[in-house]
Structure 1
Amino acid sequence: MSFEGFPDEGLVFYEGLEADNSKTYWTSNKGAYEAHVRAPLQELLGEIAPEFGIPKVFRPYRDVRFSHDKTPYKTHQGAVIHPEGRAGAWYVQVSADGLRVSGGCWRLESDQVARYRRAVADDVQGPRLQAEVDRLAAADWAIEGDRLVRVPTGYSPDAPRLDLLKHKALHATRTWEPAEWLHSRTALEEVRTAWRDLTALNAWLDDNVGPTAKEPRRR
């Protein structure tokens, strides 16, 4: 089936989940989640995958093992496309707050952080990233990612692009509040256009950071 928008019933489902994040609510309304949240998101991803890659739709359940917040369900539905062997990824999320799209990297291993910082300090690659980050910020993208408070070890306090050097992850995010177009195919075009706008950022990360060489952690 083709994507025809995110039904308002999906947003209403999440409004209810925010008010009553319980197994009772979830069980009673799981049909609404499947039909009005998960299904349309999968339809959107199915149409956009040929350009960006194979998507992963996240589970709706929270990992509460190490959290003080024991509410069992996420109040949003997200999905990511992270091509194998690359550092950059694309993300989309729907919730009662509307639609969110992001691109970049959310978590870097120590070897990736080291390569990232070397590239930021480089006289050619560093200015390339700075120019792209400045362009995205000017286009109303929020530039985010975990970062140090202090100067990274081995770098000078007056190093060029110090703000970028402090980052341990780097991604750009745009959010839209609920609107009528969210319930139509316009939502697909907004996601597609936004992800295309992040192509240069992800390309820089792929070229200069790449995948980690560390072994996957055992679970």
Structure 2
Amino acid sequence: MSFDGFPDEGLVFYEGLEADNSKTYWTQHKSSYESHVRGPLQAMLDELAAEFGVAKVFRPYRDVRFSHDKTPYKTHQGAVITPEGRGCGSWYVQISADGLRVSGGCWRLESDQVSRYRRAVADSVQGPRLDEEVTRLAAAGYAIEGERLTRVPAGYSADDERVDLLRHKSLHATRTWEPADWLHTRRALDEVRTAWREMRTLNAWLADNVGATTKEPRRR
């Protein structure tokens, strides 16, 4: 299957799901989800795989075990690519009734990764490289996001020239497009590819300076 855009029916499907997040609605419209959401997204990812790697497409079902919100289905479809062996620095894409979203970076870091991240930010060589890249992406229209502390982390100075970056516990750049006619064409593939290329340097910095966690997986 070749990618020819995200059909409007897929966005309409999510509008309906937002209004009626129930098993009844899902069962009645699952074929629309498969044909107009998951199918086109997978086709896009297949075309991008040679350059960026194989993606993980997230399940449409929400994990409600530890959530007050018990609605069973996600109102968006996302996928992520984390290059094998790098441990940190991923590409993300998401389609929903709100349009198209792309991101690059890291969304959740363990304590050992946060420590390495901050040491690199404070470093006289690696810190300016990240600062320059974040500044470039922000100027190009990307939102610089991620969990961050309200205070300066222990061991670092409030006068540090990169104090805003030091506060981060995760870091990613994001760009969003509201629904438009081009979303239903191959231009959507071009926009995702271009954005992911824009975020390649950020991901490389994170992979080189933060890497994978050495902590044991958490048990639930």
Any unmatched runs of 5+ in structure 2? none
Q: What is the aligned partner in structure 1 of residue 111 from structure 2?
A: 110
Post-superposition Cα deviations, 1:180-215, rounded to whole Å, max 9, x if no partner, equal 111011100100000000001001111111111112
The residue type paired with residue 168 of structure 2 is H
**Cα distance in 1 between the residues matched to 2:84 and 2:166:** 25
164-173 or 65-74, which deviates more:
65-74
- Checking the alignment, whether the CA contact within 8 Å between 1:103 and 1:198 is kept in structure 2 is yes
Q: What is the aligned partner in structure 2 of residue 67 from structure 1?
A: 67
SS in 2 for 1:94: strand
SS in 1 for 2:175: strand
Task: Report the alpha carbon displacement of residue 58 of structure 1 after superposing the two structures with TM.
Answer: 0.2
Task: Report the alpha carbon displacement of residue 139 of structure 1 after superposing the two structures with TM.
Answer: 0.4
Q: What is the aligned partner in structure 1 of residue 26 from structure 2?
A: 26
209-218 or 188-197, which deviates more:
209-218
**Cα distance in 2 between the residues matched to 1:183 and 1:214:** 43
Matches within 5 A, 1:177-196: 177-196=178-197
Aligned-residue CA RMSD in angstroms? 0.8
Matches within 5 A, 1:132-151: 132-151=133-152
**Cα distance in 2 between the residues matched to 1:78 and 1:17:** 16
The residue type paired with residue 118 of structure 2 is R
Q: TM-score, normalised by structure 1?
A: 0.98
Matches within 5 A, 1:1-219: 1-86=1-86, 87-219=88-220
**Identity over aligned residues, as a percent?**
79
SS in 2 for 1:119: helix
**Cα distance in 2 between the residues matched to 1:49 and 1:210:** 22
Task: Report the alpha carbon displacement of residue 217 of structure 1 after superposing the two structures with TM.
Answer: 2.5
**Cα distance in 2 between the residues matched to 1:105 and 1:177:** 23
